[in-house]
Amino acid sequence: MKTITLKTEEEFFEYLNNLSKSLGKPKSQIIREAVIEYGERLKRERIHQKMEKLAKQLSKDKNYLREIKEFDILSGDIVE
């Protein structure tokens, strides 16, 4: 494992320390889990933004309902 040095305010350090004690987890584990969770949240937000953009584009397309129906048919074939 690699080592990272983190400078922080006293208040944050105490918060992390108390969290570590209450959860029974090392501070490094809490930070790793938080960073991974944050990265996953950013990934979900990007996907959501792309889906909203696509939905707006499709709503302007007169053929979008046909495309959605075709997608539903294809999706059903894959699931079954």
Supply the pLDDT for residue 57: 76
Contacts of 63 (CB under 8 A, 6+ apart): none
Q: Per-residue pLDDT tens for 10-21?
A: 999 999 999 999
Record the pTM: 0.65
User: Could you please report the per-residue DSSP string of 28-76?
Assistant: HHHHHHHHHHHHHHHHHHHHHHHHHHHHHHHHH-TTHHHHHHHHHHHHH
Q: Per-residue pLDDT tens for 22-69?
A: 999 999 999 999 999 999 999 999 998 888 888 787 777 767 667 677
Helices 64-79 and 27-60 cross at an angle (nearest 10°) of 130
Supply the pLDDT for residue 80: 46
